[in-house]
Amino acid sequence: MTVQSARARTTALAPYLLLLPALAATLLLLGWPLVKNGLLSFQNLNMRQLIQHLTEWNGLDNYAEVLSSPDFWRVTVRSVLFTGANVVLIMILGTLVGLLLARLGKRMRLTLLIGLVLAWAMPPIAAVTVYKWLFAQRFGVVNWVLDRLGFHSMADHNWLATQFSTFAVVTLLIVWQSIPFVAINLYAATTTIPKELYEAAALDGAGAWKSFTSVTVPFLRPFLYATTFLEIIWVFKAFTQVFAINEGGPNRLTEILPVYAYIEGFGNQHFGMGSAIALLTIVILLALTAYYLRIVLKQEEDEL
Amino acid sequence: MSRPRAASSVLRRVWPNALATVLTLVFVFPVYWMFATAFKPTGDIISEDPVWFPVDFTFEHFRTAVTADNFWTLVRNSVTVTVLAVLFSLVIGLLASFALARMRFRGRRGFIVAFMLAQMAPWEVMVIAIYLIVRDADMLNSLIPLTVFYMMMVLPFTLLTLRGFVGAIPKDLEESAMVDGCSRPQAFVKVILPLLAPGLMSTSLFGFITAWNEFPMVLILNKQAEAQTLPLWISKFQTVFGDDWGATMAASSLFAIPILLLFLFLQRKAVSGLTAGAVKG
Amino acid sequence: MKRKLIAAIGAAGLVVSVAACGSDDGKDAGADGFKGQTLTLWAMDGSTPDGWTKDVKAAFEKKTGAKLKIEIQQWNGIQQKLTTALSEESPPDVFEIGNTQTPAYAQTGGLAELDDLKKSIGADWTESLNKASVFDGKQYAAPWFAANRVVVYNKKVFKEAGVTEIPKTRAELFKAFDRIEAETDAEPIYMPGQNWYFFDGLTIGTGADLVKKKGDKWVSNLADPKVGEAMEIYQKYASYSTAPKDKDEATPQQAEVFAKGKTGAFIGMGWEAATAIKANPEIEKHIGYFTIPGETADKPEGVFLGGSNLAVAAGSEQQELAKEFLKIALSDKFEGQLSKELGVIPNKESLQHNLKGQPAGEAAAAAVASGGTTPLIPEWAAVENPPNPIKTYMTAVLNGKSHAAAAKQVEGEFNKRLAQKQ
């Protein structure tokens, strides 16, 4: 065996060696819980079984019950709409704020950046608590301000009384915390657009709008795709915000899939059922992101 | 450069600044309100007319929050778990991202998609499965399972984002280093790693937030107070007998401060590179 | 590792005792062989006042030679925490558990049977308090203390409105509220829409049952007119308040609202007054308490007896030591002391004298005889998990739905929870 071929072999093995820790971690720490979760989803596992370490297989019962429950489908549709609305708002507003950042003078930009970073960095647990406090029916600042502005009917308005306004508060919270990520990154991305591209566009007689659509947008497209993908995942899984603000209320009307799984499985201590919902949640999230994953698969084919 | 219509020019210059000012207020206010509330006496918190500035400054709520049982133990645990989880995910993620961004090999696409899928794991609802695994491994009330699971929660994001960063570094740099007699690992450490610093920082921010906030898992995995983390401490002040808003806000403030500082500190360096990572996706 | 070894022995002991159908001959050494052991007690936040804790620890240590470790538990997520803890190899030996949750845990096999303890020290436990600890004819927990709601009122506001006599009947109380409304700018009572335990008391007062048996299954009985009657009373209370209709008494904390001095009264636990005083020390001198008046002067309003039981984990390796602890904690001396320090109702009627001089406690004790609980069936625990359908029902009625329509609205969810597999 020559030194050369040994070296070639190492080079061939190198990527796998580099990937090994990540793969091992994923299999052990994610794969195993997923398999375990899968097994639990075929069991009747409640308080009694858990405490006594009993294993009671019940076949597809959990799935049959979940899938035949109108609640589950309602929650699914709601989750999709909720995710869609939030992601659209986040992406549009985030992009606009990002473009604004690019237009600002140095000092103003720094001010806004700091504001954005503060909102972004707020731990969700703390953020939810503050929002609950801002929108409290009595002694909440929002109602007080609305009252002062002349909307006297809002003086004692209960924001968490209806499905729509609860979602409105949750959406505000999520959009507020997500805009910074999109805006700051988008701003940073615009700074990397080569100036020559704009100059070339100007030479071709392009106005502000034209150069935006012909230079900025194409340049940012991959970034926008990637960010949208991330935001879909994050919003879809926004458990803390939705659960903590009103525990899925009123009337369980603001439960999205992760909250539904948690309340059914964990709150009501039907762990097998919860596991089944958890797996179905993953399937639905997969369906939602399939389009992007396909793009990635194709794109990776072209590269390298 | 002079413009014919001065008024419109002023307007043009003013509106971005005006808008930015309003936006800054919108983004800062909730954060401000948290800190302000924490410093107000309870009487000013539960008040018909909001007290905009904490005039009767009090540290009472902070005292309540800090003198809670085991506070410093929880701080230590939270810091340990978070820092270790982030460090591990950075190291493991960096190794993998280097392979994914730089090397050609069979199954590369499959790996990338697999990590994207891993990113979707709904951890909150998998808690009971994790609990049973940890219980049966006799590892309850230990910081190790927390650390490794938090590491796993952030690993896919870290890895994929770093892949973008690594990919954005011109290949010639590395090659020229290798021409200069560096081996590949040496080239990596000497040339690429410094360029990656912003990327490492920005991904670690995400990791910090995730690990710092985690609640459902630590709640049932670690029942002994000595092995718990700060999110459990915050929930202390919201009980069925009512919320102690002052203490909750004080606790939330203390809880948020490390992350806020970290962001302000790392953000400028991080942002410059984050795009490079994100663009590639 | 020693801990492991002990655990292994404990697990073996558990298998034996399960095989012997719950006969709980402990595997511990004799009564004086506890030296070096540590007993763990899970108590809820606020249940163990300092003086009591110190004295009980000392007495326990003196008698058994073992140490007592008290771990204070938060309410948030406590059920999940308890369920999982009971499945572990070293669960808390003794733990505090709500009376309404006891049946659900008793049927899981997680609680040790305590028949002999009841025989030796429990002959005169108050019947209405002990009921919740009995499941399938066996004793699975011991009543520790109870508390029920009273009217906490602002003497100044009442006086300003010209109300000088403490209302003795419901009608008198409402009359007082009318006067407060007319004479002062205070809110007569703070009554959010979901003070559900107060409502439960009202249903006990009207003699309503929240569930009924249909075949071998429990189903909702909310549509019962007696429930509607109770809800009408509740509605009358709520009509005097501008509190949120879909919130319970904890958000915002009613005592803090009361502390502003612009509220005539609220219905709550005696100790909530401390919260008010913390928010506004000025309020202390104006706070008074009285028993929630009923239909007639001779019988107070029905109240929910929120009770705390002490239970022993079936998986505990220290069954005998745990019982030794219960004998000490539940002795007349320490029951009395706890009652005195916390202002809670002790587990024996003969000990109620300890509440003398505590206006809140006395007001509460007067209603114990007309008190009750939620239905004592294992299925019940699921009903109260958020979102509690009865709270949903209450909000619906307060928002204008008829009793029948609101009861129908939540019936599906209610029955679903009652039918959940155990």
* Residue C376 and residue C359 share a domain: no
pLDDT given for residue C18 in this prediction: 36
Judgement on whether residues C32 and C48 belong to the same structural domain of the protein: yes
Question: Are C268 and C408 in a shared domain?
Answer: yes
Task: Report the C-alpha gap between C121 and B89 in whole angstroms.
Answer: 57
Does A263 sit within 8 Å of C385, measured CB to CB? yes
B161 and B210 share one domain: yes
Same-domain status, C365 and C377 = no
Average pLDDT, chain B: 83
Query: In this structure, are B74 and B50 located in the same domain?
Result: no
Question: Could you tell me the sign of the dihedral formed by the alpha carbons of B132, B137, B142, B144, in that order?
Answer: negative
> Are residue B110 and residue B149 in the same domain, yes or no?
yes
Any domain includes B261:
yes
Higher local confidence (pLDDT), B277 or B249: B249
Which portions of chain A are predicted below pLDDT 50?
304
Give the B window 220-259 contacts with A, CB below 8 Å: 231, 234, 238, 245, 248-249, 252-253, 255-256, 259
Round to the nearest angstrom and report the end-to-end CA distance of chain A: 30
What would the pLDDT profile of B109-144 be if each residue is shown by its tens digit?
A: 889 889 989 988 889 888 899 999 999 999 999 999
Residues 6+ away with beta carbon under 8 Å from A58: A42, A43, A44, A272
* pLDDT tens profile A159-190: 887 889 999 999 999 999 999 989 988 888 88
List of residues 6+ apart from C263 with CB closer than 8 A: C154, C157, C186, C187, C189, C190, C257
CB atoms A51 and C242 under 8 Å: no
- Please, which residues have CB within 8 angstroms of residue A102's CB and are 6 or more apart in sequence? A187, A190, A191
Q: Are A158 and C392 within 8 A, CB to CB?
A: no
Q: Same domain for B203 and B227?
A: yes
Which residue has 């007062």 as its token pair? Answer: C205
Q: Which residues on adjacent β-strands are paired with residue C214? A: C217
Closest residue, chain C, to B243 (C-alpha)? C253
Do B95 and B9 share a structural domain?
no
Q: Are residues B76 and B52 in the same domain?
A: no
In chain C, the number of structural domains is 2
The question of ipTM being above 0.90 is answered as no
Pair (B256, B190) in one structural domain: yes
Same domain, B76 and B158: yes
Query: Which CATH number fits the domain that encloses residue C75?
Result: 3.40.190.10
Name residue, tokens 């270790």.
B84
Given C355, C370, C385, the domain boundary residue is C370
Q: Among B46, B61, B133, B136, which would you mutate to test the C interface (most chain C Cβ atoms within 10 Å of its Cβ)?
A: B46
Pairs across B and C, CB distance < 8 A:
75
Between CA C69 and CA C56 the distance in angstroms is 11
Residue C169 shares a structural domain with residue C227: yes
Q: In this complex, do B46 and C251 lie within 8 Å of one another by their Cβ atoms? A: no
| Closest-CA distance of chain B to residue A153, Å | 16
Give the position of tokens 């209320």: A249
Please name the member of B216, B223, B243 whose beta carbon is closest to the beta carbon of C250.
B243
Neighbours of B262 (CB within 10 A): 17
Q: What is the torsion angle, in degrees rounded to the nearest 10, for the CA atoms of residue B144, residue B149, residue B155 and residue B156?
A: 160
Could you tell me the two tokens for B84? 């270790």
In Å, how far are A100, B1, B19, C214 from B7, measured between CA atoms? Answer: 21, 15, 18, 80
Q: Tell me the DSSP string of C51-100.
A: HHHHHHHHHHHHHHS-EEEEEEE-STTHHHHHHHHHTSSS--SEEEEETT
Amino acid type, C416: K
Number of structural domains chain B divides into: 2
Are C195 and C253 contained in the same domain?
yes
Edge-to-edge strand list for the sheet holding C287-290: C187-190, C263-268, C150-154, C287-290
C81, C194, C246: best to mutate for the A interface, most A CBs within 10 A: C246
Q: C181 and C76 in one domain?
A: no
**Chain B residues lying within 8 Å of A266, measured CB to CB:** 125, 127-128, 216
User: What is the DSSP code (8-state) at residue C348?
Assistant: S
Mean pLDDT per 10-residue interval, chain C, length 422 residues: 35 35 41 81 90 95 93 83 92 93 91 94 88 92 94 96 94 96 95 95 94 92 96 96 88 86 93 85 93 94 93 94 95 94 89 89 89 88 82 95 95 89 68
Closest CA to A168 of A105, A287, A82: A82
- Of C88, C249, C269, nearest to B135 by CB-CB distance is C88
φ/ψ region of C136 (left if φ > 0, alpha if ψ in -120 to 50, else beta) reads left
| Residue B231 resides in a domain | yes
Enumerate the residues of chain C whose CB falls inside 8 A of the CB of residue B241. Answer: 46, 250, 253, 269, 272, 275
Residue C44: which H helix or E strand, with range? strand C38-44
Computed from CA positions of residues C144, C148, C152, C158, in that sequence, does the dihedral angle turn out positive or negative?
negative
Helix (H, G, I), strand (E, B) or coil at C145: strand
Distance from CA of C244 to the nearest CA of A (A): 7
- Asked if residue C179 and residue C297 are part of one domain, the reply reads yes
Same domain, B26 and B139: no
User: Does any domain span residue B272?
Assistant: yes
Q: Are residues C113 and C220 in the same domain?
A: no
Which residues in chain C are contacts of B70 at CB distance < 8 A? none
Q: State the Cα–Cα distance between residues A265 and C162, nearest whole angstrom.
A: 54
User: In terms of domains, do C203 and C297 share one?
Assistant: yes
At residue A133, the 3 state secondary structure works out as helix
User: What CATH number did the domain enclosing B144 receive?
Assistant: 1.10.3720.10
Residue B140 lies in a domain: yes
- Cα atoms found within 13 Å of the Cα of residue C418, Cβ hemisphere only: 23
| Contact by Cβ (8 Å): B274, B199 | yes
Residue A234 contacts B, CB cutoff 8 Å: no
Residues 6+ apart with CB under 8 A from B237: B64, B65, B243, B244, B247, B248, B251
Burial label, A293 (beta-carbon count in 10 A; 0-12, 13-18, 19+): middle
Residues C252 and C381 in one domain: yes
CA B126, distance to chain mean position in Å, is: 21
Instruction: List Cα–Cα distances, A57 to A60, A62, A272, in angstroms.
Output: 9, 10, 10
Helix H or strand E segment including C151: strand C150-154
Which residue range is the domain that position C116 belongs to?
A: 2-147+305-370
Residue C218 and residue C211 in contact, taking contact as beta carbons nearer than 8 Å: yes
B81 with B29, same domain?
Answer: no
For residue B69, what is the DSSP state?
T
Which residues neighbour C196 within 8 Å (Cβ) at sequence distance 6 or greater?
Answer: C248, C388, C390, C391, C394
Question: Under a CB-based contact definition with an 8 Å cutoff, are residues C197 and C100 in contact?
Answer: no
Is residue B188 located within the same domain as residue B74? yes
Strands C287-290 and C134-135, sheet pairing? unpaired
Q: What is the SS3 assignment for C215-277?
A: CCEEEECCCCHHHHHHHHHHHHHHCCCCCCCCCCCECCEHHHHHHCCCEEEEEECCCHHHHHH
Exposed / middle / buried, residue B194 (Cβ in 10 Å: 0-12, 13-18, 19+): exposed
The reply to whether C251 and C382 lie within a common domain is: yes
Angstrom CA distances, B101 to B92, B94, B112, B155, stand at 14, 10, 10, 16
Q: Is the peptide bond before C252 cis (omega within 30 degrees of 0)?
A: yes
Contact partners for chain B, using 3 or more CB pairs closer than 8 A, are: A, C
Interface of A with C in 100-159 (CB under 8 A): 132, 136-139, 156, 158
DSSP string, C358-410: -HHHHHHHTTGGGEE-S--STTHHHHHSSSPHHHHHHHHHHTT--HHHHHHHH
Q: Which residue of A has its CA nearest to C381?
A: A268
Neighbours of chain A (3+ CB pairs under 8 A): B, C
Residue B63 lies in a domain: no
- CA distances B5 to A103, A207, B9, B12, Å, are 21, 19, 6, 11
CA distance C379 to chain B (A): 22
Read off φ and ψ for residue A171, nearest 5 degrees.
-65, -45
Our CA-based measurement puts residue C307 at a distance from the nearest CA of chain B, in whole angstroms, of: 15
Longest dimension (CA), chain C: 73
pLDDT at B243: 64
Closest CA to C265 of C255, C274, C251: C255
What is the structure's pLDDT at A20?
Answer: 94
Residue-level pLDDT at B242: 53
Taking an 8 Å cut-off on Cβ atoms, the answer to whether A22 and B127 are in contact is no
Give the pair of three-digit tokens for residue A164: 């729509």
C60 sits in the region (left: phi over 0; alpha: psi -120 to 50; else beta) called alpha
Task: Give the integer Cα–Cα distance in Å for C313 and C13.
Answer: 13
B200 within a domain of the structure (yes/no): yes
C103 preceded by a cis bond (ω within 30 of 0): no
Q: How far is residue C256's CA from residue C273's CA, in Å, rounded to a whole number?
A: 9
Domain interval for residue B272: 70-280
- CB contact residues (below 8 A), chain A span 80-99, against chain B: 97
Q: What is the pLDDT of residue C19?
A: 35
Please say whether the dihedral angle defined by the alpha carbons of residues B145, B146, B147 and B148, taken in this order, is positive or negative: positive
User: Is B101 a member of any domain?
Assistant: yes
Q: Do A304 and B104 touch (CB under 8 A)?
A: yes
Which burial class, exposed, middle or buried, applies to B5 when counting CB atoms under 10 A from its CB (0-12, 13-18, 19+)? exposed
Distance between CA A252 and CA C392 in Å, rounded?
10
CA distance A16 to B106: 9
Q: Do C250 and B42 touch (CB under 8 A)?
A: no
